[in-house]
Amino acid sequence: MWRKLLCAAGRGSRAGVLERADRAAFCDWNVVLARPGFRTPGDGAGPGTDRDGRHSNCFFRKYSVSKSTVESDELEKFQALSQKWWDRNGEFAALHALNDLRVPFIRDTLLTFSEKQQLGRPLRGFRILDVGCGGGLLSEPLGRLGAMVTGIDPLEDNIRLADIHKSFDPVLKELVQYSACCLEEMAMESPGRFDAVIASEVVEHVGDVETFIRCAAQVLKPGGSLFITTINKTFLSYALAIVAAEKIFRIVPNGTHEWEKFISPNKLETHLISSGFTVETINGMLYNPLFDSWSWIINTSVNYALHAVKKKIEEKSDFMSEGSGRKDHGCDQSESNVGSTVQS
Ligand SMILES: C[S@@+](CC[C@H](N)C(=O)[O-])C[C@H]1O[C@@H](n2cnc3c(N)ncnc32)[C@H](O)[C@@H]1O
């Protein structure tokens, strides 16, 4: 039953992506179509191929400015897996298991930093942005805890699947909303709107982490929380997250990660501080593939989770002083910075 539904969703997806280009028109097809070498769907070169016939951005929305956190080769990886999100034993099994760690981490941290407390629905009243939400594996449980969750992902098929899966639980109807867009757009549309931003297993797929963090700061309320889980850039992370997990044990598909894009907690902290955050917590996480389970550890040399808080007095942070003079950045509020360009 599940499999059939998800397959049906997959079959409809290509047409649907184009139909929903009205939403994407904001990110301006015209700009992309005007780019030399880009062919339109149905122009004989196959959908979204470039002049050389290379498979290109056919399933992805097009963005219109020059600075972006979204990379097309990263989206291609997730496009191939976009019907697999809710297969508990499939390619995203480790992310399902990670909920045992990250959901309580987010819940307890938010409650510690807040006076809002509601038994039964502890996160009621919290507005959370789940960036790179994929199929909604994290958005859904946070919604069930009472939070108003907005899940965003640049890949339309992920959002389509997340929407279908959400519809099976009526409790989530009013609480979880999904949108196919990138963080830059949210920063433009909804500055200062969220109590918390989550980027779980996303930063290692992002093209420009500095812009990404800056945009996260922009959508957060002063005093809001940013949660990141990601992978450190160490020899051990190369050995475990790439060689062992991808090439030997096939826990995730080969090619999912690029070591160059991993980031150390120190470097992440530098970006965070310059965007007006204070880092409150950095915890190591360890995945045990034999038991398909995660645990907290002190060592952060492979996987880690980070919690940072946006400073309340923004005038004193580098974020404000830099941001105000930086018109070329992908995340200020000028018209010229709407959306982003998908980079190859
Ligand atoms: C490893 S998955 C994590 C999904 C989800 N956060 C979870 O943990 O279940 C990475 C997700 O990030 C999305 N993604 C890739 N590049 C992104 C970017 N620049 N901004 C936001 N999301 C991105 C992908 O489409 C994919 O859904």
Q: Is 2 exposed, middle or buried (0-12, 13-18, 19+ CB in 10 A)?
A: exposed
User: What pLDDT does residue 9 have?
Assistant: 37
Q: Which domain holds residue 102?
A: 93-326
Total number of domains in the chain: 2
CATH value at residue 172? 3.40.50.150
* Ligand 1, atom 5: closest residue by C-alpha: 133
Predicted TM-score (pTM) of the model is 0.77
116 CA to middle of ligand 1, Å? Answer: 29
21 with 136, same domain: the answer is: no
201 CA to middle of ligand 1, Å? Answer: 7
Judge whether 18 lies within some domain: yes
* Ligand 1, atom 24: closest residue by C-alpha: 132
14 with 127, same domain: the answer is: no
CA–CA distance, 214 with 58 (Å, rounded to integer): 28
Judge whether 88 lies within some domain: no
74 CA to middle of ligand 1, Å? Answer: 9
Lowest mean pLDDT among 155-164, 172-181, 268-277, 315-324: 315-324
User: What pLDDT does residue 120 have?
Assistant: 77
User: What pLDDT does residue 68 have?
Assistant: 78
Q: How confident is the model at residue 81 (pLDDT cuts 50, 70, 90)?
A: very high
Q: How confident is the model at residue 10 (pLDDT cuts 50, 70, 90)?
A: very low
Judge whether 128 lies within some domain: yes
Does residue 38 or residue 283 have the better pLDDT? Answer: 283
* Ligand 1, atom 22: closest residue by C-alpha: 132
CA–CA distance, 108 with 135 (Å, rounded to integer): 24
Residues 285-329 have pLDDT tens digits of 999 999 999 999 999 999 999 999 999 975 454 544 444 433 344
Judge whether 178 lies within some domain: yes
* Closest to 63 (Cα-Cα) out of 213, 188, 192, 160: 188
CA–CA distance, 250 with 269 (Å, rounded to integer): 31
Is residue 86 within 8 A of residue 69, CB to CB? The reply is: no
165 with 122, same domain: the answer is: yes
Residues 212-234 have pLDDT tens digits of 999 999 999 999 999 999 999 99
* Phi, psi of 221, rounded to the nearest 5 degrees: -70, 155
